[in-house]
Chain A
Amino acid sequence: MKSNRLLYLLPLLTLAILAGFFGWSLLSGRDPASIGSPLVGRPAPRLEAPALFPGKPALTDALLRTGKPVLVNFFASWCTPCLAEHPLLERLASRDGVTIIGIAWKNKPEEARAWLERLGNPFAAVGYDLDGKMALDWGLSGVPETFLIDAKGIVRLHFRAPILEKDVNERLLPLLKAGS
């Protein structure tokens, strides 16, 4: 009879567990839309892309193993947030001397070239990934996305949105200073 009574408590217990999870979820302030950055802390994925500007060497993994931290930025000429982010990249490259590698993602090379020629080119090297195959390895969900790769070739930061002033000052530059 006793075990029978416990059986009738089962729905209540199930509810308590469910409610616990819901409360935890609400209080944790998690963003269900965020898909996370599983690459952080791991070696950078393969970098292999034809150069955007004719005559320049193709992009390879060697660019990520120069002993210096680098930023990898995926962009496209059709992407308005990329346009908003562009001045900040220019400043990072010229003022802070950060090496930035650009990848034009799902973007026709001539359009990406015209875009950079019009706005200025902050990238030490630019490649393109027309069909987005390479970006699959990087877990790209759209553009712009930016990765900070440290001197050992490990991914340190992953921005799934345009980088802002705040991100640069609070996250990017401190890590860069500590790394170099």
Chain B
Amino acid sequence: MLPELGHFALILALAVALVQATLPLVGAARGDIRLMALGRTAALTQAFLIVLSFAALMQAYVTSDFSVATVVANSHSAKPLLYKISGVWGNHEGSMMLWVLILALFGAAVALFGETLPDGLRARVLAFQAWIGVGFLAFILFTSNPFLRLSPAPLDGNGMNPLLQDPGLAFHPPLLYLGYVGFSVTYAFALAALLEGRVDAAWARWVRPWTLAAWCFLTLGIALGSWWSYYILGWGGFWFWDPVENASLMPWLAGTALLHSAIVVEKRDALKSWTVLLAILAFSLSLLGTFLVRSGVLTSVHAFAQDPARGMFILGFLLAVTGGALALYAWRAPSLQGGGLFQPISREGGLILNNLLLCTLCATVLLGTLYPLFLDLVSGAKVSVGPPFFNATFVPISFALFAALCVGPYLGWKRAELWPALVKLRTAFAVSVIAMILAAVLIDRRATLAAVAFGFGVWLILGSLYELADRVKLGRVSWSETKRRLRATPRASFGMTISHAALGVVVLGAVGTAAWNAELIRTFRIGDRADFAGWQVTLAKVVPVRGPNYEAERAEIVVTLDGKPYTVLTPERRLFLVQRREVAETSIHSNLLRDLYATLGEGDVQKGWTVRLYYNPLAPWIWLGAALCALGGFVSLSDRRLRVGAPKRSRVIVQAAE
């Protein structure tokens, strides 16, 4: 009964979404308050129906209702509860359900928290959001019904891909989708603004929290995905420039550019049409990512739900959503009048440079990702674009971005002098250069690029902290005055400092892991010893263990330092019984400065086991930094001027122009 109820609720949600997509637009055009108000009611109703439908699907998974086809295909009664729940979105149909759920929740959030928005703008934003909902709901109902029944019902299910049975991956899709779908709000705001022909400081202020929230979630989602591939795939790497990874990086880069350009719109009333374009692109790139992952036009190590037939639908949808928006843009954007004038050397100029570099990075990733596809179609040649391309292009452009990043916050609006900013940063610069030289000399003389990147990491952290210290005049005025200034500093500025410095932390982590790691692959018999990166490792024993839905061999690798016991690593090789698939479970000893990482390969008592050991200096900083980066976003999100009931717009502009 419940699956039918869920299916029915989904059909109703589509009907409601159609209403939400049309009538409020008519109302906004005619100035009819009642029709406009319908948008709010419809958004809340739609969210309620989709929550109901999603709950019905989740109930089928949790209770292992094997009369539902997707549950049979993706679940098993012996699976732990967490993975029964995460199994809901660990497949094509369910992940689409998660997508519409988050979309509807964002719509409801706009309806609930958008009280300060003008009626017309809110009606239009909700209508455009509903169009996206209509597309996805139709996609689910017509091509990927998650509630399809099976008769007779099988006794048990086929289980879930063991690689996905992991706590990291249980939360990765929801976070990623919160990011992707969050940009749909920004997209809807951009279309509404184009339709109204009005992009101003107030608009930028309304859009900012949504962009920021989406960006934070996307940051966390990408970091979690990278962490998962680090410890589950057992290769010791954290980023592989794989199409699926690139697909999530592109909207992040566009979203980061949008965050910065929206500041210029808010404070200086300039860069309007560019900001609107970025808002459209951030969401379009999210859809493009979905298309690339789902359609099977590119190969990827992460692809898990490919189907060319669905690819055609998503392509059509992508074309309608992006094409429609860009056509509207081509038509209306030329009439957006730019406001504030400024010199090239100024805060605005710095933010434009930031945007240019971020967009170049985004274009580089796009080109690298799609080039094999283009070349294959045009000439039939097969190439793969991998790390060498991105190291040669992405890395140097990011260096330029990093170099400019710390200087930008020192520049004043309208016009500024470059030299005083550089003078203020001289200590940070000197320390970074010293760090770079030390890294080159002491750690690895051959890894020049790594040393330069290390220097930039230090520069990002120090430069960002210096800016905050300068702002509160640390050490130059009395401590109580510094405290007063600290309290007066807006949270958005703290957010900026945290996120910028966090980027430095990520860079340091990436350099350590990618360039200064050590690796040992060899066959160990029981009792074999080896020296590795200063430790002595011994394979003490290999014992069989039983999990809820797998059997495993667990190795105990004793690590000693100068003869004293240091730690015991226990990597496993799990055989998942339902799928007959083996998965290596890595064992990582982390002390926040470095990871000691072990995986267990095939083997037996006579031949010994293949063991891979990695020593990854600074590896935890990658994810620590990414989490800090998102934290900076959340701190900025809590800023007074973004909260409901904050002082009105006029005062904010006065504050901002200080």
B-binding residues in A (CB < 8 A) = 4-5, 8-9, 11-12, 15-16, 18-19, 21-26, 28-30, 32-36
Interface stretch of the complex, out of B119-127, B374-382, B433-441, B603-611: B374-382
Binary CB contact string for chain B from 344 to 386 against chain A (1 if under 8 A, 0 otherwise): 0000000000000000000000000010111011001110000
Whether A24 contacts B377 in the complex (CB less than 8 A), given A11-B330, A19-B319, comes out as yes
B422 at the A/B interface (Cβ < 8 Å)?
no
**Do B315 and A30 touch (CB < 8 A)?**
no
Interface residues of B in 314-352 (CB under 8 A from A): 315, 318-319, 322-323, 326-327, 329-330, 333-334
Q: Which residues of chain B have C-beta atoms less than 8 A from A26's C-beta?
A: 295, 297, 308, 311-312, 315
List the 9 shortest-distance A-B pairs measured between CB atoms, nearest first.
A12-B326, A36-B382, A9-B330, A25-B297, A8-B330, A32-B299, A11-B326, A33-B299, A35-B382
**Do B323 and A8 touch (CB < 8 A)?**
no
CB distance from B267 to the nearest CB of A (A): 24
Whether A8 contacts B382 in the complex (CB less than 8 A), given A15-B326, A30-B377, A32-B376, comes out as no
**Do A25 and B373 touch (CB < 8 A)?**
yes
B298 at the A/B interface (Cβ < 8 Å)?
yes
Q: Which residues of chain B have C-beta atoms less than 8 A from A22's C-beta?
A: 291, 295, 297, 315
B184 at the A/B interface (Cβ < 8 Å)?
no
Question: In whole angstroms, what is the CA distance A16 to B380 when docked?
Answer: 22
**Do A32 and B373 touch (CB < 8 A)?**
yes
**Do B323 and A19 touch (CB < 8 A)?**
yes
Q: Is the interface of A mostly helix, strand, loop or mixed?
A: helix
B277 at the A/B interface (Cβ < 8 Å)?
yes
A8 contacts which of B319, B322, B333, B370 (Cβ < 8 Å)?
A: B333
B273 at the A/B interface (Cβ < 8 Å)?
yes
CB distance from B332 to the nearest CB of A (A): 9
CB distance from B140 to the nearest CB of A (A): 20
Can you list 5 residue pairs at the A/B interface with Cβ under 8 Å? A4-B334, A21-B370, A28-B377, A32-B296, A32-B373
B329 contacts which of A11, A16, A24, A33 (Cβ < 8 Å)?
A: A11
Q: Is the interface of B mostly helix, strand, loop or mixed?
A: helix
Question: In whole angstroms, what is the CA distance A23 to B377 when docked?
Answer: 11
Q: Which residues of chain A have C-beta atoms less than 8 A from B315's C-beta?
A: 19, 22-23, 26
Residue of B311, B326, B329 with highest tally of chain A CB at under 10 A: B326
**Do B299 and A8 touch (CB < 8 A)?**
no
CB distance from B370 to the nearest CB of A (A): 7
Interface size on B, residues (CB 8 A): 34
Residue of A11, A33, A34 with highest tally of chain B CB at under 10 A: A11
Q: Which residues of chain B have C-beta atoms less than 8 A from A21's C-beta?
A: 370, 373-374, 377
Question: In whole angstroms, what is the CA distance A16 to B74 when docked?
Answer: 37
A-binding residues in B (CB < 8 A) = 273, 277, 280-281, 284, 291, 295-299, 308, 311-312, 315, 318-319, 322-323, 326-327, 329-330, 333-334, 370, 372-374, 376-377, 380-382
Question: In whole angstroms, what is the CA distance A29 to B277 when docked?
Answer: 33
CB distance from B645 to the nearest CB of A (A): 37
What 12 new A-B contacts, CB under 8 Å, besides A4-B334, A12-B329, A26-B315? A5-B334, A8-B330, A8-B334, A11-B329, A15-B323, A15-B326, A16-B323, A21-B374, A22-B291, A26-B311, A32-B372, A36-B382
Question: In whole angstroms, what is the CA distance A76 to B299 when docked?
Answer: 27
Q: Which residues of chain A have C-beta atoms less than 8 A from B297's C-beta?
A: 22, 25-26, 32
Question: In whole angstroms, what is the CA distance A21 to B291 when docked?
Answer: 13
Q: Which residues of chain B have C-beta atoms less than 8 A from A23's C-beta?
A: 312, 315
**Do A15 and B319 touch (CB < 8 A)?**
yes
CB distance from A12 to the nearest CB of B (A): 4
B273 contacts which of A8, A19, A36 (Cβ < 8 Å)?
A: A8
Q: Which residues of chain A have C-beta atoms less than 8 A from B318's C-beta?
A: 19
Write the chain A residue with the least CB distance to B332.
A8
Q: Which residues of chain A have C-beta atoms less than 8 A from B326's C-beta?
A: 11-12, 15
Question: In whole angstroms, what is the CA distance A15 to B280 when docked?
Answer: 12
Question: In whole angstroms, what is the CA distance A15 to B322 when docked?
Answer: 8
Question: In whole angstroms, what is the CA distance A16 to B324 when docked?
Answer: 11
Q: Which residues of chain B have C-beta atoms less than 8 A from A4's C-beta?
A: 334
Q: Which residues of chain B have C-beta atoms less than 8 A from A34's C-beta?
A: 382
Q: Which residues of chain B have C-beta atoms less than 8 A from A29's C-beta?
A: 308
Write the chain B residue with the least CB distance to A19.
B319
CB distance from A23 to the nearest CB of B (A): 6
Question: In whole angstroms, what is the CA distance A8 to B334 when docked?
Answer: 7
A11 contacts which of B277, B295, B377, B382 (Cβ < 8 Å)?
A: B277
Q: Which residues of chain B have C-beta atoms less than 8 A from A30's C-beta?
A: 376-377
Question: In whole angstroms, what is the CA distance A32 to B319 when docked?
Answer: 22
Question: In whole angstroms, what is the CA distance A46 to B280 when docked?
Answer: 55
Q: Which residues of chain B have C-beta atoms less than 8 A from A8's C-beta?
A: 273, 329-330, 333-334
Question: In whole angstroms, what is the CA distance A15 to B318 when docked?
Answer: 10
Write the chain A residue with the least CB distance to B327.
A12
Question: In whole angstroms, what is the CA distance A25 to B315 when docked?
Answer: 11
CB distance from A63 to the nearest CB of B (A): 29
Q: Which residues of chain A have C-beta atoms less than 8 A from B380's C-beta?
A: 36
Question: In whole angstroms, what is the CA distance A34 to B284 when docked?
Answer: 29
**Do B298 and A32 touch (CB < 8 A)?**
yes
Question: In whole angstroms, what is the CA distance A22 to B326 when docked?
Answer: 18
CB distance from B379 to the nearest CB of A (A): 11
Question: In whole angstroms, what is the CA distance A12 to B328 when docked?
Answer: 10
Q: Which residues of chain A have C-beta atoms less than 8 A from B273's C-beta?
A: 8
